Amino acid sequence: MDKYCKIRDILLQNGNALCQFKYGARIAVPKTLDFGGRKSRTPSSFMGDLLVEEQRLLGINFTLTPKKQARHFATVQELSRRKATHLRDLSGPITLDNDGIIANQAVFGRKKYMPDFSLKKWYLDVADDWGDVYIGYCVSLKWGKVELNGLQHLWHSPETGVETQMEITKQSAPEYKGENQLVWQPKGIEAIWESADRPIKETLLDITEGKIVWQCTQPKAHASINSSKLSFSGWGYTECIDITVPVWKLPFRTLYWGRCHTDNHYLVWIRWDGKTRQNLIWFDGKCSQDFVIEEEKIIGSDFLLRLGENVPLRQGKIGSTIFQPFGNIVKILPKTILSMDESKWYNKGILEANSKAESATTIYEKVSW
């Protein structure tokens, strides 16, 4: 009974955190616990009975695992296969050390525990007036103990249509060679972007769950791509976005993004519809919220972009597009993220600004869930 009370105190002394935590936890215990300066063995049978009782008293689901195996805890997916309950949002154990302290107590509070989430995505493109397009993605996803890295390349030409290449790999991200030149050299590809305008950086979202930090590294660039699939030059664009809000918790339900280039101007726009709204457009570096997206045109106070015929570049669920390189691994992610619907187009249109009209190459997308 003394042992029982002691361990119960250990569970309760960490504030009300564990009492409020109703979503299950796995406990790793050492072979002995220190009870008031006297170490006592904690046989599995005793601990098993104890934890069953704690589950009844506190409403917490525990699974006993020897401490030496703590770093080998099953993933959320594995636990689900074992039909463990209430473990969807848990990726780490509670560990009782030899002093009876819950080592990672800080992550257990009154809110449901959620493993750290981080998504870093590079997007890079090149397009010319004849319909040749290259788009590259370099993605790094971290969620709790899960880490995924992948690349995706998309080529489009009027002759061959759309071709894609994807792989799970941790190759080098794009890097600067000098102040204005961005170079990316994944296997079989050499691409260069020479900045034609200054970068843009915005914190698009800053909430309790995390942030979205968007770095438009090159809103307009002279770009060239050399690969076995397609080699050409044109206007290009690069950005890097860091998301620490779990994507299935984003407070908007539709995203509109696009970039447009002419010889003398550029546009970049971001619009969110949903609980949280954004309506931002940059015209030659000047930011405004005064613009409207219509089916065949985008209207701003200083410009009018008339869209031509859309050429589809990508259409489908994001689980089968940008996350396709990760295969079945991404099934550990909530269905909400994998069911996002993405449509991306190339468009040849006309940009009217300063009483002049210029040929404009546009790449834009709509993502909804």
Q: Is 131 left (phi over 0), alpha (psi -120 to 50) or beta?
A: left
- The per-residue pLDDT for 145 is 77
Q: Output phi, psi for 208, to 5 deg.
A: -55, -40
Clarify whether residues 126 and 159 are in a common domain. Answer: yes
Map residue 345 onto helix, strand or coil: strand
Beta carbons of 229 and 197 less than 8 angstroms apart: no
Answer yes or no: do 102 and 121 share one domain: no
Q: Are 330 and 319 in contact (CB under 8 A)?
A: yes
| Residue 58 dihedral angles phi and psi, to the nearest 5° | -105, -10
Q: Of 24, 11, 232, 185, which is closest to residue 105 (Cα–Cα)?
A: 11
pLDDT at position 141: 86
Based on the fold, state whether residues 282 and 183 are members of the same structural domain: yes
> Does residue 14 lie within any of the structural domains?
yes
What type of residue sits at position 56?
Answer: R
- Number of Cβ atoms within 10 Å of the Cβ of 51: 19
Domain closes at, from 107, 129, 148 = 107
Nearest Cα residue to 366 out of 315, 311, 309? 315
Picking from 107, 133, 156, the residue at the C-terminal end of a domain is: 107
Backbone φ and ψ for 36, nearest 5 degrees, come out as 60, 40
DSSP state of 113: P
In this structure, are residues 197 and 220 in contact, taking their beta carbons and an 8 Å threshold?
yes
Query: In this structure, are 99 and 217 located in the same domain?
Result: no
Residues 195 and 330 in one domain: yes
Among 143, 137, 192, 185, CA closest to 165: 137
pLDDT the model gives residue 332: 60
In which element (H, E) is residue 242 found? strand 232-243
In order along its 369 residues, the chain shows pLDDT tens digits of: 343 344 444 444 433 333 223 333 434 444 444 434 444 444 344 344 444 444 444 343 444 333 333 333 333 333 333 333 333 333 343 333 333 323 333 333 333 445 688 999 999 999 999 999 999 999 998 888 778 888 999 999 999 999 999 888 777 899 999 889 999 999 899 999 999 999 999 999 999 999 999 999 999 999 999 999 999 999 999 999 999 998 888 999 999 999 999 999 999 999 999 999 999 999 999 999 999 999 999 999 999 999 999 999 999 887 666 666 555 655 666 666 667 889 999 999 999 999 999 999 999 999 998
Residue ending a domain, among 42, 72, 107, is 107
- Four-residue CA torsion sign, 69, 72, 73, 74: negative
Measured CA to CA, the distance from residue 133 to residue 142 in angstroms comes to 30
**pLDDT at residue number 321:** 61
Q: Residue 112 domain-assigned?
A: no
Same domain, 82 and 179: no
Please state whether beta strands 232-243 and 254-261 pair in parallel, antiparallel, or not at all (unpaired). unpaired
Domain count, the chain: 2
Cα 146 to the chain's mean position, in Å? 13
The torsion angles phi and psi of 291, rounded to 5 degrees, stand at: -155, 160
Is 82 exposed, middle or buried, given 0-12, 13-18 or 19+ CB atoms closer than 10 A? exposed
Q: How far apart are CA 263 and CA 338, in angstroms?
A: 38
> In terms of residue numbers, what domain contains 350?
117-368
Whether residue 265 sits in one domain with residue 159 = yes
Q: Are residues 155 and 221 in the same domain?
A: yes
